Chain A
Amino acid sequence: MNVELKNIHKRFGKTYANKGINLSIPSGAIQGILGENGAGKSTLMKILSGFIQADSGGEIVLDGKPVVMQSPADAIRFGVGMLHQDPLDFPPMKLLDNFLLGMPGKLFLNRKEAAQDFNRLANEYGFNFDPESYVDSLTVGERQQLEIMRLLFLGARVFIFDEPTTGISAAQKTKLFDTLQSFPKQAITTIFVSHKLEDVERLCDRVAVLRAGELVGEFTPPYETKKFVSTMFGKEITLGERQPAKTGDVVLSLKNVFLEDTRVRIDGLNVNIRAGEVIGLAGLEGSGQGMFIRACAGLVRPVGGKIFLKGKNLTGKSYYAFKREGVNFLPAARLEEGLLPGLSLLDHFILAEKPRGVFIDKAYGQRLAEERIKSFNIRGTPASMVESLSGGNQQRAELALLQTPLSLVLLEHPTRGLDIESMIYIWSKLKDRCKQDGAALIFISSDLEELLQYSDRLLVFFSGKVSEPIDASGTNVEQLGQLIGGKGWPQKGDIHA
């Protein structure tokens, strides 16, 4: 099926997630879509799969016919199916029932007939499934296969894959690629969204690169990795003056730490981080850095190894034990995890302080709140509800909640969605605070410029692999971009794809 996207715009508030995108994909092609986090890939795919609607003026044309899709169900009726990064299936259901979901029309199910269809399709694609087993017994890769089958059965002619190779095994990846490579023969069009350069190079016959909501480049083989990286991340980035860290004693020490969740596994990690040091964690989302930072906060327990904080063994201790030792974790999801919607700034500052008796001293709280609001440049009043603040102000409010004592600050995307001025301001605040308390700082970011500018050392994560600490002054955007995309890694040992 031919897919044409014409002049697609999508605005969220003031920012463009997609800006005038024109892309035409011939029938049977495997189209790669590259771009860093927040480049607008997901938005574009959600528009194409009916999850959200583009702003007026654009057009989606399938096989020459303009279509309007109000919902994912609409999209599948037109033959467009999407596989999400996290499979949208129903873990407590049987495979067959899950398979039958979304079938239009019929009131009664003919399970026998359906089971035959199921087995026929599974055989055809070499998937090994028992239709009567339950979805939650499957791995992420198998759930993906199930979803592919379901969409094929519903008659999908265009498949959108969002980061399909994250969290599946090497064997499953090979299987997936074999499946995708059989699609062109049936004139099924594939759209492959990824930030993994290697996968895209291996699989796609054409590649489009998005940056900041715009389509900035289209490529056909032979590909040049360098070219991809510079197109994805934009112009050469000039680094400002970096200040070398004055480091103190070791604050955090990880000894042969093993971490594991359903998607990635980190094996035998050894790191020492010193007071005054800033460590940047680079990598695609879901490469293990989130798990790493949560393990440092005491929120995720390592399955092996030891974690020391200022020489104290905190392995397996609770989050509160970490917190007592001065570990402060500020999560990325501000309104979900970091702040309390429905409570005011004043309430937040009072909660973050140590209680002084039973009753709240309102006058003291008011002074405290006013002082923090001023020093963190938050646009709001002590009585402002946090959910009424803008994103940048919420971020600053979260930073203003940093508690004492402070020995280790852990930040997820501390400046995501902020303008450059706010970013500089927040970093100066953070650095001051860490210097003052002799704390180390670890942060996750997908902004390479920010990582290079503010880190002393960098750890790059790729599918659970963790690089040796890289001196931030000795690397550049290009090298970092390649590492993030899984290129240029030393070929040895612990690989868990």
Chain B
Amino acid sequence: MLKTKAGRFIFQLAAFLLAMGFVSLILLATGASPLEAYKNMLAGSVGSMRKFAEVLVSFVPLLLVTAGLLITFSAGLWNIGVEGQIVLGAIGSVWVLRQFVDSAMPPAMVILLSILSGMVFGAVWASLAGMLKTFGGVNEIFGGLGLNFVSTALTLYLIFGPWKREGVASMSGTEPLPDVFSLPQISDLRISPYALAMALVAVAIVYFILQGTYFGLKIKAVGRNIRAAYLLGIPTWQYSLYSFLICGALAGVAGALQVTAVYHRLIPSISSGYGYLGLMVAMLVNYQAVWAAPVALFFAALNIGSIQLPILMKLDSSLSGVLQGVLVLFVLLTEGVRQRFVKKA
């Protein structure tokens, strides 16, 4: 029973309930009503079309990043640097847009170029972590973490230096870009159908790479046992690097979309923690691409749903983060417990 799909599902359901229970206890300890909090979160995320559109705005970068991370995880790599790769994608995108502010080029063309630029920037940034790993022997976790700090510093430098607002530089970011450089949105909702489509296509492509191509199988082989993969004749370090490039490119697109579809300028927290959140989603779906979209949507809903908690209930909006983190921990925990039972049985 433990090995079947149903058995696995029961354990995951248990994890979900445990996580909710645990968070409820925390809420009770602070004197708040868990039921009311959950109700407010539900209303805050799917209560109206407008709110659901906000969820989708958050869903797009999260799904892109998760899709990329599925590749690096398959290659056995912990691409913590994904956060910085989003940032560099945003920088690459803003850089191109700034070049064409007064040009006659059709805006659609410029937007496309800027997204491609974001992709390249993200991939190059990821390849730094990859090369540090393959040629320098620097663990990708440390390399990525270091590069994340560098990317933050770079953003601040640009905002307060070369790209500062006319007159006074401020934490609110660079000068907003012209409206023509915004991806079209659905009527008065903030979500761009193009951005949404890109994210869904990305995760579908990743799914097919991992399920049906030699490339994906080789990536997995490298991730499962680099030594045996090498002996089987797979160029191992090259495949590690490819996986970094793909993940970085997708994170770069996420960053570019944060610019062209959401903020229309460079701001200090342009990556909004989607990189780290994506790591959690990838872990939660156990690196299975099929589940990436629904779980990412759920996480995005939690994010948006908790925004109103401070106003409505005087609770901090980081409650969603607590719930997400606790959920991942409980899923990992119950999976560990299940494995123990499987071994004994």
A461 interface hit (Cβ, 8 Å): no
Give the distance in Å from the alpha carbon of A340 to the alpha carbon of B222 in the complex.
9
B214 touches which of A336, A339, A343, A355 (Cβ 8 Å): A355
Give the distance in Å from the alpha carbon of A352 to the alpha carbon of B232 in the complex.
6
B217 interface hit (Cβ, 8 Å): yes
Contact A359 B213 (CB under 8 A): yes
B171 CB → nearest A CB, Å: 44
A413 CB → nearest B CB, Å: 15
Give the distance in Å from the alpha carbon of A352 to the alpha carbon of B212 in the complex.
16
Say whether, besides A347-B217, A351-B218, A337 and B231 are in contact (CB < 8 Å): yes
CB-CB nearest in chain A for B229: A340
A155 interface hit (Cβ, 8 Å): no
B224 touches which of A343, A355, A358 (Cβ 8 Å): A343
Question: Residues of A contacting B231 with CB < 8 Å?
Answer: 319, 329, 331, 337-338
Give the distance in Å from the alpha carbon of A335 to the alpha carbon of B225 in the complex.
9
Contact A337 B228 (CB under 8 A): yes
Question: Residues of B contacting A401 with CB < 8 Å?
Answer: 232
Which of B227, B233, B235 has the most A CB atoms < 10 Å from its CB? B233
A341 interface hit (Cβ, 8 Å): yes
Contact B214 A340 (CB under 8 A): no
Give the distance in Å from the alpha carbon of A17 to the alpha carbon of B233 in the complex.
36
Question: Residues of B contacting A362 with CB < 8 Å?
Answer: 212
Give the distance in Å from the alpha carbon of A320 to the alpha carbon of B233 in the complex.
6
B210 CB → nearest A CB, Å: 11
CB-CB nearest in chain A for B214: A355
B291 interface hit (Cβ, 8 Å): no
CB-CB nearest in chain A for B223: A342
A360 interface hit (Cβ, 8 Å): yes
Within 8 A of B (CB), among A324-339: 329, 331, 335-339
Contact B221 A343 (CB under 8 A): yes
CB-CB nearest in chain A for B235: A320
Contact A358 B215 (CB under 8 A): yes
B228 CB → nearest A CB, Å: 5
A323 interface hit (Cβ, 8 Å): yes
B307 CB → nearest A CB, Å: 40
B265 interface hit (Cβ, 8 Å): no
CB-CB nearest in chain B for A338: B228
Contact B224 A342 (CB under 8 A): yes
Question: Residues of B contacting A335 with CB < 8 Å?
Answer: 225
Question: Residues of A contacting B225 with CB < 8 Å?
Answer: 335-337, 339-342
A340-377 interface bits toward B, Cβ cutoff 8 Å, 1 = contact, 0 = none: 11110001001110010111101000000000000000
A300 CB → nearest B CB, Å: 13
A403 interface hit (Cβ, 8 Å): yes
A253 CB → nearest B CB, Å: 23
Give the distance in Å from the alpha carbon of A287 to the alpha carbon of B321 in the complex.
57
Contact A337 B217 (CB under 8 A): no
Give the distance in Å from the alpha carbon of A339 to the alpha carbon of B225 in the complex.
8
Question: Residues of A contacting B220 with CB < 8 Å?
Answer: 340, 342-343, 347
Question: Residues of A contacting B214 with CB < 8 Å?
Answer: 350, 355, 357-360
CB-CB nearest in chain A for B218: A351
Within 8 A of A (CB), among B230-246: 230-235
Question: Residues of A contacting B224 with CB < 8 Å?
Answer: 340-343
CB-CB nearest in chain A for B220: A343
Give the distance in Å from the alpha carbon of A401 to the alpha carbon of B221 in the complex.
14
CB-CB nearest in chain A for B211: A360
Contact B227 A336 (CB under 8 A): yes
Contact A350 B227 (CB under 8 A): no
A293 CB → nearest B CB, Å: 13
Contact B217 A360 (CB under 8 A): yes
A397 CB → nearest B CB, Å: 12
B16 CB → nearest A CB, Å: 25
Contact A350 B232 (CB under 8 A): no
Say whether, besides A340-B221, A359-B212, A360-B213, A351 and B227 are in contact (CB < 8 Å): no
Question: Residues of B contacting A403 with CB < 8 Å?
Answer: 233
Question: Residues of B contacting A351 with CB < 8 Å?
Answer: 217-218, 221, 229, 232, 234
Give the distance in Å from the alpha carbon of A360 to the alpha carbon of B214 in the complex.
6
B227 touches which of A337, A342, A360 (Cβ 8 Å): A337
B197 CB → nearest A CB, Å: 23
Within 8 A of A (CB), among B183-226: 212-215, 217-218, 220-221, 224-225
A437-448 interface bits toward B, Cβ cutoff 8 Å, 1 = contact, 0 = none: 000000000000
Contact B228 A340 (CB under 8 A): yes
Question: Residues of B contacting A320 with CB < 8 Å?
Answer: 233, 235
Question: Residues of A contacting B218 with CB < 8 Å?
Answer: 351
Question: Residues of B contacting A336 with CB < 8 Å?
Answer: 225, 227-228
27 A–B contacts from the bound complex (CB under 8 Å): A319-B231, A320-B233, A329-B231, A335-B225, A336-B228, A337-B228, A338-B228, A340-B220, A340-B221, A341-B224, A341-B225, A342-B220, A343-B220, A343-B224, A347-B220, A347-B221, A350-B214, A351-B234, A352-B232, A355-B214, A358-B214, A359-B213, A360-B212, A360-B214, A362-B212, A401-B232, A403-B233
The 8 closest A-B pairs by CB, nearest first: A355-B214, A340-B224, A342-B224, A340-B225, A337-B227, A323-B233, A340-B228, A359-B212
Extra contacts besides A320-B235, A323-B233, A331-B231 (19): CB < 8 Å? A319-B231, A336-B225, A336-B227, A336-B228, A337-B225, A337-B227, A340-B221, A340-B225, A340-B228, A343-B217, A343-B224, A347-B220, A350-B217, A351-B229, A351-B232, A359-B213, A360-B212, A360-B214, A403-B233
Measured CB to CB, the residues of B under 8 A from A are 212-215, 217-218, 220-221, 224-225, 227-235
